[in-house]
Every structure is written in C-alpha cells, then in structure tokens.
C-alpha cells in the first residue's frame, strides 16, 4: 500500500510518499495549522501506529516555501538521507525522510506547474530513486563475479565481486551508486553489496579468493572494520581481499592502520585503479598492499604502445614486485595484451579476455 501526506501552503505542495508499488494508494491531505506533528499518539497530524515510533516523534514546519523537520527527542530517531538529525533540517526534493524505521520520500511541487510534463530523463531518475528504497529494503541485487587469473598458469585465483539489479534505472553498479549519491547513502549501499557478494560467493567452487570493494567515503567513517569483521565471520576461512580505490589513498598512516586491522581479521588489502589518480610510489613503500591493481588506462592496447610507454609500465611492475606486492593488470581484453602483461611480470590479471562478470551459477560445475 502507498501512503502519502501532502503539506501545502502558498504556491508549493509538499508530499511525503511511502511505498513504491502504487497499489491501494492512500492520500492523507494535511492542512495548517503548523507545526505538523508525527507520532504514535492520537491527535498527531500524521499518526503512525507502530511500536518503533514515539508518542510525539517529530514535527514539520513550513517557513515560506521551505519545509523543515525536527526530531522531538524520539527514542529511535529521525533520519534524513540515512543520517540521524539532532537539530532542525531543511528538506529537499527526493530526500529520504525516516521516522525510526518508517521511511518516506519527500516531494515538492509548485501548484502553477502541476500540469507541466517532466522530461523523460527526469522521470527516469525519479523512478530510480523510488526504486532505490526497494533495492535497499529488500536487498534486490544479484552479485556478479569476474575471474582473476594467475598469469603463469591461467588458473582462476579469485573473483572480484560486482553487482547487478533488475530494477528499472538501477541495473548497473554505477546506476546504483548514482542514486545512492543523491541520497547520501553510498556507504550503506557499499556495505550491502559487499555482504550479499560474500554470502553468494560462498557457493563458488573451491576456495577462491573473494575481492570485495569499498566506497572511498567508507575509509574515513566508522564501521568499515566492523563490516569486514561480519564478512569474515560469515565467510569463515574463505580468503578475502578488500579493495580500496586509489582516490581514498591519501594518508599512508591511515592505510597502515587499515592493513593492520584487516590482518587481524585475516583479510588482505588491494589498491584499486593504480595510475588513474594521484597515488605516489612513496605511499606504496610506506603502506604496501597485498595486491596493486593497475588501471585499465595503463593496460588498454599496451601491445600497440610505444616502446617508451611499455618500458615505463614494465619498470613500475618491477618496482611493485620488489616491494613484495602482487601486480594485477585490470581490463585485459585481448590475447596480445595478456601476452605483453605476462612478459612485463604481472602475476595476476582480470578482464574480458579471461571472463566477463557473471552470476555464481555460471561458475558452478
């Protein structure tokens, strides 16, 4: 069932939307006076009769055409885009407003513009944001696995965990994170994808290493190690490598601490997309990972590159090897690229030449 509560004054109508299926749609028209109260207690402007909701949980106030939300010292909190609020917060179009575990999407519309037709791409984006609630609540993702091979033998050494979804507008990882970024929920999405990937990866044949991803925002927020601890408990003795994007590698001491904490969990560390940003070799020396994944921009058509470019890449590979780090070539698409990378000293590689991302059933005998 879809519930809506419309707040209107001046020339703007604000709407709180709960539900995404459109079935048995219920509209609750709300009119001044303000504040507009939300709670379990009879007499609230919007009564939510759930145990997690406090008697007087929160309130909305309209100042001009701006809607504000305040928490009223509720037990389980009020959240805007996944963050618990301690002071009043202005609400924007498509914000995710949550009272304890009751989530609503915020909508606003000018009365003068109600008959205007939205552009198709805007409609698609709005639908994707609505779908994002379903994606997170029901964990509607399918983990995909791309093989990582041993360059000497061609054997599968592990798999990088990726994800897909069948929800409209959220089919790819990039689309999921685009929607998450609009709601400030990148970290929550990253943790959910990682958990589902590890859980599904336990069905792979053998004891293959699982390469799991992080979002750059996770490095400086609490909870990453706890999340990886939960993944380790779930996976037991399955080898795990945590990939950190190059953009997040700015403080060697931070990486040293992260590697130490991961080591206690028997989890390895990889730096992803090396060569795409600003990671310096000095940082590799001070905080060496277990794997260094060379960005596809360095690998693409390396067989056709100038001798100078090939020599430069080969020199980087040798430096990485001398540091005791496993150099991994990303984005290998042809046999010629694979052969050049092998001759340069790359120990591992991944790319379409070795296998495209696929669900776990495609790797089960």
Predicted pLDDT at 108? 75
For 294-332, the pLDDT digits (tens) are 999 899 999 999 999 999 999 999 999 999 999 999 999
Lowest-pLDDT range of 153-162, 243-252, 287-296: 243-252
For 140-155, the pLDDT digits (tens) are 999 999 999 999 999 9
Across residues 93-115, what is the average pLDDT? 70
Question: When comparing pLDDT for 363 and 160, which is higher?
Answer: 160
**Which residues, 6 or more positions from 328, have their beta carbon under 8 angstroms from its beta carbon?**
148, 270, 291, 292, 293, 294, 346, 347, 348, 349, 350
Cα–Cα separations (whole angstroms), residue 320 to 211, 293, 336: 19, 11, 22
Q: Using 50, 70 and 90 to split pLDDT, how confident is the model at 126? A: low
The yes-or-no verdict on residue 28 having pLDDT over 90 is no
For 56-66, the pLDDT digits (tens) are 999 999 888 88
Predicted pLDDT at 22? 47
The yes-or-no verdict on residue 98 having pLDDT over 70 is yes
The yes-or-no verdict on residue 260 having pLDDT over 50 is yes
The yes-or-no verdict on residue 115 having pLDDT over 60 is no
Q: In the predicted model, what is the mean pLDDT of the chain?
A: 85
**Most confidently predicted of 278-287, 312-321, 355-364:** 312-321
Predicted pLDDT at 263? 96
Question: When comparing pLDDT for 275 and 294, which is higher?
Answer: 294
Cα distance between residue 237 and residue 235, in whole Å: 6
The yes-or-no verdict on residue 55 having pLDDT over 50 is yes
Q: What are phi and psi of 93, to 5 degrees?
A: -55, 130
The single-letter DSSP state of residue 356 is -
Predicted pLDDT at 110? 56
The yes-or-no verdict on residue 73 having pLDDT over 80 is yes
Cα distance between residue 90 and residue 16, in whole Å: 14
pTM exceeding the 0.75 threshold for the entire prediction: no
| Helical (H) or strand (E) element with 99 | strand 96-99
Q: Using 50, 70 and 90 to split pLDDT, how confident is the model at 95? A: confident
Cα distance between residue 141 and residue 132, in whole Å: 11
> Over pLDDT 90: what percentage of the chain?
53
Query: Of the candidates 190, 123, 202, which has an alpha carbon nearest to the alpha carbon of residue 163?
Result: 190
Predicted pLDDT at 71? 95
3-class state of residue 78 by DSSP: strand
For 130-189, the pLDDT digits (tens) are 788 889 989 999 999 999 999 999 999 999 999 999 887 788 888 899 888 888 889 999
Query: Of the candidates 236, 309, 246, 301, which has an alpha carbon nearest to the alpha carbon of residue 272?
Result: 246
Predicted pLDDT at 279? 56
Q: Using 50, 70 and 90 to split pLDDT, how confident is the model at 236? A: confident
In order of their start, the domains of the chain are 3-116 (2.60.200.20), 130-363 (3.20.20.450)
> Over pLDDT 70: what percentage of the chain?
86
């Amino acid at each position: 069932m879809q519930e809506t509560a419309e707040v209107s004054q001046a020339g703007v109508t604000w709407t709180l939307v709960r539900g995404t299926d459109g079935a048995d749609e219920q509209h609750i028209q709300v009119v001044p006076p303000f504040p507009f109260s939300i709670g379990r207690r009879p007499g609230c402007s919007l009564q939510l009769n759930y145990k997690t909701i406090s008697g007087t949980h929160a309130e909305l106030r309209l100042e001009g055409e701006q809607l504000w939300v305040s928490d009223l010292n509720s037990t389980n909190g009020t959240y805007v885009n996944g963050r618990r609020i301690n002071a009043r917060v202005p609400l924007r179009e498509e914000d995710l407003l949550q009272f304890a575990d009751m989530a609503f999407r915020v909508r606003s519309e000018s009365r003068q513009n109600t008959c205007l037709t939205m552009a198709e791409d805007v409609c698609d984006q709005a639908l994707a944001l609505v779908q994002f609630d379903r994606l997170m609540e029901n964990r509607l993702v399918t983990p995909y696995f791309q093989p990582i091979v041993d360059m000497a033998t061609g054997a599968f050494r592990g798999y990088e965990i990726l994800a897909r979804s069948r929800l409209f507008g959220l089919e790819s990882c990039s689309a999921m994170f685009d929607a998450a970024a609009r709601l400030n929920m990148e970290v929550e999405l990253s943790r959910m994808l990682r958990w589902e990937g590890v859980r599904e990866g336990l069905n792979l044949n053998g004891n293959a290493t699982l390469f799991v991803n992080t979002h750059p925002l996770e490095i400086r927020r609490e909870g990453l190690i706890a999340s990886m601890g939960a993944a380790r408990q779930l996976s037991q003795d399955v080898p795990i490598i945590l990939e950190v994007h190059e953009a997040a590698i700015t403080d060697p001491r931070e990486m040293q601490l992260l590697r130490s904490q991961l080591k206690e969990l028997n989890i390895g560390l990889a730096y992803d997309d090396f060569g795409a940003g600003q990671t310096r070799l000095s940082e590799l020396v001070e905080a060496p990972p277990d794997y260094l994944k060379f960005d596809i921009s360095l690998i693409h058509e390396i067989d056709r590159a100038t001798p100078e470019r090939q020599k430069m890449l080969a020199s980087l590979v040798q430096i990485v090897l001398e540091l005791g780090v496993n150099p991994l070539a990303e984005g290998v698409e042809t046999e010629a690229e694979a052969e050049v990378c092998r001759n340069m000293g790359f120990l591992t590689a991944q790319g379409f030449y070795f296998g495209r991302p696929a669900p776990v059933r495609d790797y089960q005998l």
